[in-house]
Structure 1
Amino acid sequence: MFSTSSTQRVTGLAAAAALVTVLAACSSNGTSGSTTDTGTSGSGSTLSTVNVWDPYPQYDDSSDWAKYLQTCAPSGVTLKRTTAATADLLNNLTTAVKAGNAPDVIMLDNPAVPDAASSGLLAPASDVGIDTSGFDANLAGPGTVDGTAYGVPIGANTLGLYYNEAILTKDGVDPASITSWDGLNAALAKVKQAGDKGITFSGITGEEGVFQFLPWFWGAGANLKDIGSDQAVAAGQLVSDWIGKGYAPKSAITDNQSASWDLFLTGKYAFAENGSWFAQAAAKLTDFKAVAVALPGKDGGAAPVPTGGEFVLAPLQNKDSAAHYALAKQVINCLVGADNQVKTATQLGYFAANKDLRAQQIASDPVWKPWAAAIEAAQGRTTDLGADYTATSANLSTALQGALNAAGDASKVKDAFTQAAQG
């Protein structure tokens, strides 16, 4: 999701609606191509279990996702799935690699990939036999670190602006007017004056809040190499004013993306900044019609949005590496090979990370059409900074929290960003 990454902790109604019924399984040997590798190393060691870690604890073993993943078990091999929150996976992987019991396959939120690679936790894709061709450059970028490719995106997602059509119609707001910050603020003022609630978003501490802040940050012309710039402060002032003026709930300071979505589902809010992974759920709402449009940039046009979603990777193995990598290759090929990319992405409410396959996916379901341009223009969070992104994101999160708690106080907002930049 932003993940999860995200990226993306879908709960309640959203979880039920976001997943489709179990789709066609991968081929019986767990591949979508012609490879017939087995979990046998050059020394003859045979592995009977392939261990897969994913960041989707919201999907238990009875879920469609868990059942779908099981179809990727290589022939004669048991697939053991372990799931943990995105925030925990990298730490768990560090411990497992050092202890010599790393999983065969791991799915990491894309900003964590440079960290994991730089820390020596991942096997290069060429060592494993992972096919890294055919993925969009803007979506595949985080998987290459210092010129070495480590993995491929399992899919991609991004952020947009949902609106409650009934509220906007009642309050006389024309959605076509929301093409800049001024247009959005004018709409929020009009909605509040009419007695309705404004906008929900996630400002929670950590990467999830930063993920949702980046469209405003980039939309102001700010750059991650200077988070104390005037443009960065302007973005902080925008969301701070939303709290101060009562356009957004104070809970936005601690709401994650699922919580902010749940507020929008009450039907009381005119707008919600949230992810494309909720698009299928939004299309099935019966209490009101939710429409998705691009998030506006400061001075007009669509704001640049961050790419969300996880990468599929093979951790470094110090024992029986050939056998582990052979199994990892089969599972990864099953998940993101050309025959199955759309099936896998749809299971998670994601887009396929290949332009041609994504075009087929979008054509098959009109729910995706408003998101097509956004995902193709989305930016990688680690593109400019690589492994340094993690520290910068932490500082930006601190600045965001200071701005939101300032509730519109301009001097406090500026101080928050100035101090965070020094940190």
Structure 2
Amino acid sequence: MTAAPPTETLERPSILHQPRAVWAVAFACVIAFMGIGLVDPILKPIADQLDASPSQVSLLFTSYMAVMGVAMLITGAVSSRLGAKRTLLAGLAIIVVFSALAGSSSTVGQIVGFRGGWGLGNALFIATALATIVGAASGGVASSIILYEAALGIGIATGPLVGGVLGDISWRGPFFGVAVLMAVAFVSIMVFLPATPKVARPTSLLDPFRALRHRSLLTVGITALLYNFGFFTLLAYTPFPLGMGPHAIGFIFFGWGICLAVTSVFVAPVLQRRFGTLPVISAALVAFAADLAVMALFTEHRPVLVVGVIAAGAFLGINNTLITEAVMLAAPVERGTASAAYSFVRFGGGAVAPWLAGKLGESVSPHLPFWVGAAATALGVVVLSTGRRVLAHVDEHEPASHSRDEAEVLSAADA
């Protein structure tokens, strides 16, 4: 066939030479992923100004992650019936409304509730964004994935920084800032993204539950649930023992986000090719557990906590990339269904950990949340090791970013 030369020619300029629709969706992705760490720098100011405890304020993460996890079960059914563009716009509109309501709140309970609504919008948007970028981008599937991962990394890295800058003005600032930026993204997608057709066969609400019957997928999901205890303990609890202002917290977690972005895009694929998927995931989790244990030992030493937070980004970046890829290959089910089931299980850990960490820190010991996070992450390594036989096939495939065909990537949109 003579198709290879033209493909190669098209792929070279594709990263920067994209249709306006792609840049509109990519911009919205950046803002959506900002939401993960945006509230980090303002947790303590919210607690101080609204007279709330760390466990109460940590519910901002709990409601957000719990609703997002449950909503992941329905995103496939919704997008397959509404079409990608309408689903994206619905998700963005929900985020605009609930982030603005959170900024207008007068109690922690109100913010917690509105963050739950924000999580619903984020689930609808994120679950559809990759498929939309793949469908609209020039240069092939690999270029589309790079764009999506770049947007993810920028969003995660800049979320705490933006939260810190706006939070220095008022704790309400980050919420209103997201509402404005998402409104801009809404208009951009409405104008620049063409209408997208509905799929031929709508997804069933029961498909993700059926997928969890496969031990391989369930093993990866439980592993992710356990390491998310450590992840969200770090994210939601660390600002309290640090005891610093929003700007400083924002810069610290900006460093964390930069490490996460760099290792997820550049380091993880290299380690995977050399050592294999499961060994690298296990090593990254062991390193993260050790990092949390050091933070538990030296919780009163601010420099140790700062270094621990930033170093954790490197371990989490490697793990997030490879464990998501393992999900795509774990079970003989559609990739979108596998990802929805996995997201539902793992966000259970993300939902419980912030509240538990705050409660243990205020009621028992400031060291204990980090010990619990370290123990849960280490237990995740044990769980993963029990599934080595049923997951052995994941390294029989080429890395997903290089080998997936377009249909596989489109169905993996909610990874």
The answer, yes or no, to whether TM exceeds 0.5 is no
Q: More helix by proportion, 1 or 2?
A: 2
Q: More strand by proportion, 1 or 2?
A: 1
Q: TM-score, normalised by structure 1?
A: 0.23
Larger radius of gyration: 1
